[in-house]
Amino acid sequence: MSATKTITVAFTGASGLPYGVRLVECLLAAGCRVWLLYSQVAQIVARQEMDWTLPGRPAEVEAELSARFKAQPGQLRVFGREEWFAPPASGSNPPDAMVICPCTMATLAAVAAGLSQSLIERAADVVVKEGRKLVLVPRETPYSAIHLENMLKLARLGVCILPPNPGFYHHPQTVQDLVDFVVARILDQLGVAHSLMARWGEAPADGID
């Protein structure tokens, strides 16, 4: 059941932060527990793409997003980049799944190489070694051979590579519709129920989570 799931979400410095923020909102609305990590460059992207000053102090981010998305006490926890005693850093306390959204090519390469120079990279390494679900949402175009080789290496390990490529068969009317299309695909990979959009061959959804 989605209410029992613990999902680690990481924001990195690629374009596409609205996907990650919407994902956190939907996970909290679905009753999941969320462990949020973010890079320093993600703070720059937040300002550029969302006119949002993403605080440097994790406690401030936790308070702000908990209030914005009406999270239950303790449902959202935010950890610093080198907070090595945080739960995601150890295989003794792995989440049910992790999503890096958006995912830079540098982060993807670090995960593919098994590096653990930040909490984001270490958390991803833990998820892979513990056999849990890892979803990467890489935002870059075009892809170089290096990017593709790194993605193939991870895909062969069972990592889900989910580029944020929205479809248009549901006739999106707004940018939010395009964001929700991608977030819906991520939630499907996590096994979290949602009503962001109609399933293929089914009637349109009545509402949005």
CB 97 within 8 A of CB 187: no
Residues 6+ apart with CB under 8 A from 171: none
Cα–Cα distance measured from residue 21 to residue 164, given in angstroms and rounded to the nearest whole number: 14
Helix, strand, coil content of the chain in percent (nearest 5): 45, 15, 45
Ligand-binding annotation for 184, yes or no, is: no
Ligand-binding annotation for 2, yes or no, is: no
Ligand-binding annotation for 46, yes or no, is: no
Ligand-binding annotation for 105, yes or no, is: yes
Q: Phi-psi category of 47—alpha, beta or left, where left has phi over 0 and alpha has psi -120 to 50?
A: alpha
Ligand-binding annotation for 74, yes or no, is: no
Ligand-binding annotation for 63, yes or no, is: no
One-letter amino acid for residue 133 of the chain: K
Ligand-binding annotation for 19, yes or no, is: no
Ligand-binding annotation for 15, yes or no, is: yes
Ligand-binding annotation for 185, yes or no, is: yes
Ligand-binding annotation for 169, yes or no, is: yes
The sign of the torsion formed by the CA atoms of 77, 81, 82, 87 equals: positive
Ligand-binding annotation for 110, yes or no, is: no
Residues placed in the known binding site for dimethylallyl phosphate: 169, 185
Residues placed in the known binding site for FMN: 13-15, 39, 104-107, 139
Residues placed in the known binding site: 13-15, 39, 104-107, 139, 169, 185
